[in-house]
Structure 1
Amino acid sequence: MVPKKKTSIVTFRINHDYEKALRKLAEEKKITLNTLANQIIGDYVDLNRYMEKFGTVVISKEGFETMLNALDEKELAKIGSSIGGKVPKEFILFRWKEITIENFAQFIKMYFDHCGYGRSDIEVNESSSSFSIRHDLGWKGSVFLKSFMDAAVQSTLGRPCEDIVSENSLVVRFRI
């Protein structure tokens, strides 16, 4: 038997226009208003409040692509390595207070989803980990993300990486 998650009944007031918009969104997603409210609150509790406290800046995809295209590949790799060498470890310690492969995987999923770097698929087993990333940022996006991921894995987990890079995707593998 699978234990049920504990829930609480909470009553509060919201602006009528927000209620209408939430009901419409729930209907479009084909989920209940309750499920949508739980997702929104969960996103804030699990992610957004930490991103705000950590000082994460969100930029439009178009703005990010413009910056990528303005830099040469060598500079992009340098920037990706610099960010990847600092941010993941600091954020993981800030959010979870402990460096583990599970917390690293959660960080990558959260960070990529929130910052719009792309979609990630993560496989972790006893001996290795694979992070597959699909994005729409072109070759220069792949250069940046490869450098970011390699530095993130090295500085946070102390592991060297093997990479497969293409125009809009990247696979990063490392031994645990």
Structure 2
Amino acid sequence: MVKENKKTVLRTIRLSKELDELLQNDANSKRISVGAMLSNILTKYSEWDRYAEKFAMISLRQETIRAILEATDDDALIIKARQIGVKIPREFLMFWFKRTDLESYIRYIELLCNYGNFARFELKTDGRTYVITLLHDMGQKWSLFLRYVMEEGIMTSVGTMPRFEVNRGSLIIKIAMP
């Protein structure tokens, strides 16, 4: 999704010397200014953290999720993914966006990827179809899990049946435009 330029305001804040040094070091390592880094931090807070906290989200290392997935039978994984897909995306959309439509669902996937580290997100369109590519290092079972969560979530929240290409390190979702 393309973000439009927004008007900005100047705000002065007081930081401890230690916090300022930490921000400066991290900004230098990313080759951005401290101001840009603070803007990124505050954007993440506004788009994700303030909601994630209320939505009872937890953070786990990818290694932990991968181990759980590998210990799970494919049939059980698909059943749970479908159950999650029917419930969680719709709740998320209503909580975050106050609506369930294709635009908000695509934004939901983008947020999960950008801040929840589900995958690397890419969106393209040919004017008739949205093509969402999710790239990850989590293996085949993660792709399988995402496929069924997304299928149920899109059908329940948007009312359309997407098409999928499932691979070990990627999931491609094709959704016809309304």
Query: Equivalences for 1:112-123 in 2 at 5 Å?
Result: 112-123=113-124
Read off the aligned partner of 2:72 and give its amino acid letter: L
Query: Equivalences for 1:144-163 in 2 at 5 Å?
Result: 144-163=145-164
Which residue in 2 is equivalent to 1:172? 173
Read off the aligned partner of 1:33 and give its amino acid letter: V
Which residue in 2 is equivalent to 1:96? 97
SS of match in other structure, 1:9: coil
Deviation at 1:92, TM superposition (A): 1.1
SS of match in other structure, 2:144: helix
What are the Cα deviations for residues 91-124 of structure 1, in whole angstroms up to 9, with x where unaligned? 1111111122221111101112322221111234
SS of match in other structure, 1:49: helix
Which residue in 2 is equivalent to 1:73? 74
Q: TM-score, normalised by structure 2?
A: 0.91
- In structure 1, list runs of 5 or more residues that go unmatched: none
Change in 2 beyond 3 A, CA 1:57/1:4: closer
Query: Equivalences for 1:22-101 in 2 at 5 Å?
Result: 22-101=23-102
What are the Cα deviations for residues 132-162 of structure 1, in whole angstroms up to 9, with x where unaligned? 1111111111111111111111111111121
Structure 1 stretch 106-115 or stretch 62-71: which is displaced more? 106-115
Q: TM-score, normalised by structure 1?
A: 0.92
What are the Cα deviations for residues 30-65 of structure 1, in whole angstroms up to 9, with x where unaligned? 111111111101110121101111111211111101
Change in 2 beyond 3 A, CA 1:102/1:38: same
Tell me the matched-pair count: 174
Deviation at 1:12, TM superposition (A): 1.8
Q: What is the rounded CA distance, in whole Å, between the counterparts of 1:169 and 1:46 in structure 2?
A: 25
Deviation at 1:125, TM superposition (A): 5.6
Contact 2:154 2:162 in 1 (8 A): yes
SS of match in other structure, 2:96: helix
Counterpart check, 1:6 vs 2:4: no
RMSD: 1.6
Q: What is the rounded CA distance, in whole Å, between the counterparts of 1:146 and 1:81 in structure 2?
A: 9
Read off the aligned partner of 1:149 and give its amino acid letter: M
Read off the aligned partner of 1:106 and give its amino acid letter: R
- In structure 2, list runs of 5 or more residues that go unmatched: none
Change in 2 beyond 3 A, CA 1:154/1:4: closer
Deviation at 1:4, TM superposition (A): 5.9
Q: What is the rounded CA distance, in whole Å, between the counterparts of 2:126 and 2:156 in structure 1?
A: 21
> Structure 1 residue runs of 4+, over 4 Å off?
none
Identity %: 25
Contact 2:78 2:145 in 1 (8 A): yes
